[in-house]
């Protein structure tokens, strides 16, 4: 049985897909795609300095094959308050839940996760960045932005219209302030259909396909 990365590559059917890893953290997913498609064009975005440091260390063997951008994709060009995560006890270095959205129900659903020290990070609009990068078609956007899906969509409509697949996390429990439900995400992306859902207890992931491409 194919895992999710293998399944997506089987749908894309290209030896050199263009992939945007938005909220790439330490690059683990980008590594998986590069192992499957060594000629893939990977563009990675991560604003958390701790995750960036781990990315550069863990992705050392792949740094010639990826481009890392140390900012958040948002609905504005400039800067924004970012809420890095950490945890209790052995999870004190937990950096997988940071967001440009303020935590809300996340504080109750995952009460061991902390958001103690907000920092200012640079932000870029997706459409502006893609225009500067001269990317006219994207095969996959792998998006893990912890509740900021609407921010990416708001400033990326042209880009998303030229994107074949989107894989994103979602939650219907508003873990972060203003987080969209899956249905609300779909309402903002009328040309996309659900390919596969990967539900979990509190949140889940979904793979979407652009039916216009």
In a domain, 85, yes or no: yes
Asked if residue 63 belongs to a domain, the reply is no
Whether residue 40 lies inside any domain: the answer is: no
* pLDDT reported for residue 45: 98
Per residue in 90-125, pLDDT (tens digit) is 778 899 999 999 999 999 999 999 998 999 999 999
Looking at residue 91, its pLDDT comes to 73
Counting the structural domains of the chain, the total is 2
Q: Is residue 109 part of a domain?
A: yes
* Residue 27 pLDDT exceeds 90: yes
Cα separation, 113 vs 87, in Å, equals 4
* C-beta of residue 106 within 8 angstroms of C-beta of residue 82: no
DSSP helix, strand, coil percent of the chain (3-state; round to 5): 30, 30, 40
Distance in angstroms between the alpha carbons of the first and the last residue of the chain = 27
**Residue 213 in tokens:** 């491409």
pTM of the model: 0.96
Kindly state whether residue 154 falls inside one of the protein's structural domains.
no
Structural contact between residues 56 and 38, judged by C-beta atoms closer than 8 angstroms: no
- Look up tokens 């994107």; give the residue: 163
Residue with tokens 């996309």: 192
Q: Are residues 119 and 167 both part of a single domain?
A: no
**Residue 48 in domain:** no
Q: Which domain holds residue 103?
A: 69-124
In this structure, is residue 62 part of a structural domain? no
Q: Say which residues have a Cβ less than 8 Å from residue 103's Cβ, sequence separation at least 6.
A: 83, 97, 113, 115, 175, 176, 177
203 φ/ψ angles, rounded to the nearest 5 degrees: -145, -175
The 8-class DSSP code of residue 102 comes to P
Answer yes or no: is pLDDT of 7 > 90.
Answer: yes
Instruction: Determine, yes or no, domain membership for 58.
Output: no
């Amino acid at each position: 049985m194919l895992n999710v990365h293998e399944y997506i590559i089987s749908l894309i059917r290209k030896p050199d897909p263009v992939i945007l890893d938005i909220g790439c953290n330490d690059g683990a997913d980008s590594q998986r795609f590069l192992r499957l498609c060594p000629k893939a064009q990977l563009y990675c975005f991560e604003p958390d300095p701790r995750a960036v440091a781990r990315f550069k260390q863990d992705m050392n063997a792949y740094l010639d094959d990826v481009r890392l951008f140390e900012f958040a994709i948002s609905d504005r060009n400039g800067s924004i308050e970012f809420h890095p995560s950490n945890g209790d006890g052995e999870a004190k270095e937990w950096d997988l839940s940071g967001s440009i959205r303020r935590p809300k129900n996340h504080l109750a659903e995952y009460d061991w996760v902390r958001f103690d020290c907000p920092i200012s990070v640079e932000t870029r609009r997706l459409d502006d960045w893609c225009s500067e990068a001269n990317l006219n078609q994207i095969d996959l956007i792998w998006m893990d932005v912890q509740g900021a899906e609407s921010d990416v969509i708001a400033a990326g409509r042209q880009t998303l219209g030229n994107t074949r697949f989107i894989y994103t996390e979602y939650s219907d429990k508003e873990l972060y302030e203003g987080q969209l439900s899956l249905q609300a995400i779909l309402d903002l992306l009328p040309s996309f259909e659900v390919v596969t859902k990967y539900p979990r207890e509190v949140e889940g992931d979904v793979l979407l396909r652009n039916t216009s491409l």
